[in-house]
């Protein structure tokens, strides 16, 4: 079985056709001189009319899709410096110009619906729309995919752990939190955002309670006081937890003030 990279864009840096290829479960390609020619009626040895009008790289890419790709092959979708998708070819070339996808030369593909974008350079030909990968490139790509998936899973686990601990903290300290809110102005302590001012009645008396000392770092149970709680908006709460340990409230406030748009 072979592995390939493909680009799905109109021209250099044009509109991406990848979403439509994903929608219809295909890898697709076309070039003007043979756009309406069913290549199943021809072969590599006997190409169709208009073939000689194609550039060498175009001939290679179209030949790869129409004559070389086989069931079981792997396709990696390349977009600029990233591999953004992966799929398995499930059949051979067919011609279809009946739907909204303007590229009629296709192979059926079962696309992976849970694929992490992988930043990668120097894999396969830089110029070709379609490229057959060497074994060393395949190993490099798959190693990067595994590494990226591991990072994604670790981040998801960390985010889930943070959410669970924050939820437990709010459940355990509901009365204390309500007391903290009652003596506040319901504005974010970092950016001064006010839900009521922005959203009206639905945002009245709404704010998120954040525990200043990471609960997961405690070695034993300790008492929580009003001073241990900060009231923040959703955006600032997300930014606080962008790092481990969480960003200090005062440090985040300095970041916000530094990057805030200047007054007109």
Instruction: Say if residue 29 is in the same domain as residue 110.
Output: yes
Spatial CA neighbour of 232 closest among 171, 188, 174: 188
Instruction: Say if residue 204 is in the same domain as residue 116.
Output: no
pLDDT at 15: 80
Instruction: Say if residue 129 is in the same domain as residue 180.
Output: no
pLDDT at 218: 47
Q: Model-level pTM?
A: 0.58
Among 47-56, 89-98, 154-163, 173-182, where is mean pLDDT lowest?
154-163
Stretch 3-25: mean pLDDT: 85
Instruction: Say if residue 51 is in the same domain as residue 132.
Output: yes
* Three-state SS annotation for 191-204: CCCEHHHHHHHHHC
Mean pLDDT taken over the chain: 82
Q: First and final CA of the chain: distance in angstroms?
A: 61
Res 260 pLDDT > 90: no
- Going by pLDDT thresholds of 50, 70 and 90, the confidence category of residue 263 is very low
Q: What are the DSSP calls for 50-92, one per residue?
A: TGGGS-HHHHHHHHIIIII--TT-EEEEEETTEEEEEEEE-S-
- The domain boundary residue, chosen from 151, 185, 212: 151
**131 within 8 A of 125, measured Cβ to Cβ:** yes
Res 158 pLDDT > 60: no
Res 170 pLDDT > 80: no
Q: Please give the tally of structural domains in the chain.
A: 2
Q: What are the DSSP calls for 160-209, one per residue?
A: HHHHHHHHHHHHHTHHHHHHHHHTS-SB-TTT--BHHHHHGGGGTT--EE
Res 12 pLDDT > 70: no
Helix H or strand E segment including 261: none
Res 72 pLDDT > 70: yes
Per the domain annotation, does 243 fall within a domain?
A: yes
pLDDT at 67: 95
Per the domain annotation, does 178 fall within a domain?
A: yes
Per the domain annotation, does 158 fall within a domain?
A: no
Per the domain annotation, does 49 fall within a domain?
A: yes
Q: Which residues contact 245 (CB under 8 A, 6 or more apart)?
A: 214, 217
Among 18-32, 76-90, 124-138, where is mean pLDDT lowest?
124-138
Largest CA distance in the chain: 83
Per the domain annotation, does 100 fall within a domain?
A: yes
Instruction: Say if residue 179 is in the same domain as residue 57.
Output: no
pLDDT at 262: 46
Instruction: Say if residue 144 is in the same domain as residue 44.
Output: yes
**106 within 8 A of 87, measured Cβ to Cβ:** no
Per the domain annotation, does 232 fall within a domain?
A: yes
Instruction: Say if residue 17 is in the same domain as residue 143.
Output: yes
Instruction: Say if residue 191 is in the same domain as residue 146.
Output: no
Per the domain annotation, does 236 fall within a domain?
A: yes
- The domain boundary residue, chosen from 87, 120, 151: 151
Instruction: Say if residue 71 is in the same domain as residue 184.
Output: no
Instruction: Say if residue 140 is in the same domain as residue 99.
Output: yes
Stretch 210-236: mean pLDDT: 74
- Using a 10 angstrom Cβ sphere, with 0-12 exposed, 13-18 middle and 19 or more buried, the burial of residue 143 is exposed
Most confident option among 154-158, 165-169, 218-222: 165-169
pLDDT at 13: 67
Per the domain annotation, does 168 fall within a domain?
A: no
Instruction: Say if residue 88 is in the same domain as residue 184.
Output: no
Res 1 pLDDT > 80: yes
- Going by pLDDT thresholds of 50, 70 and 90, the confidence category of residue 185 is very high
Residues of the chain with pLDDT > 70, as a percent, come to 80
pLDDT at 75: 94
Instruction: Say if residue 92 is in the same domain as residue 205.
Output: no
- The domain boundary residue, chosen from 120, 151, 182: 151
Range of the domain at 202: 173-259
CATH number of the domain residue 140 falls in: 3.10.590.10
């Amino acid at each position: 079985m072979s592995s390939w990279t493909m680009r799905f864009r109109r021209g250099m840096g044009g509109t991406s056709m990848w979403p439509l290829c994903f929608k219809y479960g295909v890898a697709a390609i076309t070039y003007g001189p043979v756009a309406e020619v069913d290549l199943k009626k021809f072969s590599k040895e006997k190409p169709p009319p208009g073939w000689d009008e194609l550039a060498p790289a175009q001939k290679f890419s179209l030949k790869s899709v129409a004559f070389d790709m086989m069931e079981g092959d792997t396709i990696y979708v390349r977009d600029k410096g990233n591999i953004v998708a992966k799929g398995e070819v499930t059949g051979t070339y067919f011609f279809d110009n009946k739907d909204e996808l303007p590229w009629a030369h296709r192979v059926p593909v079962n696309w992976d619906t849970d694929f992490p974008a992988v930043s990668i350079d120097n894999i396969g030909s830089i110029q070709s729309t379609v490229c057959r990968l060497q074994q060393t490139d395949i190993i490099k790509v798959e190693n990067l995919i595994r590494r990226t998936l591991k990072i994604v899973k670790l981040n998801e686990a960390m985010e889930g752990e943070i959410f669970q601990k924050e939820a437990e903290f709010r459940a355990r300290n509901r009365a204390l939190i309500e007391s903290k809110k009652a003596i506040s102005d319901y504005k974010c302590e970092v950016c001064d955002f006010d839900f009521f001012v922005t959203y009206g009645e639905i945002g009245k008396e709404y704010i998120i309670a954040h525990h200043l000392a990471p609960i997961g770092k405690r070695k034993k149970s300790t008492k929580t006081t009003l001073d241990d709680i900060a009231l923040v908006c959703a955006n600032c709460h997300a930014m606080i937890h962008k790092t481990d340990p969480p960003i200090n409230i005062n440090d985040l406030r300095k970041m916000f003030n530094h990057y805030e748009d200047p007054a007109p």
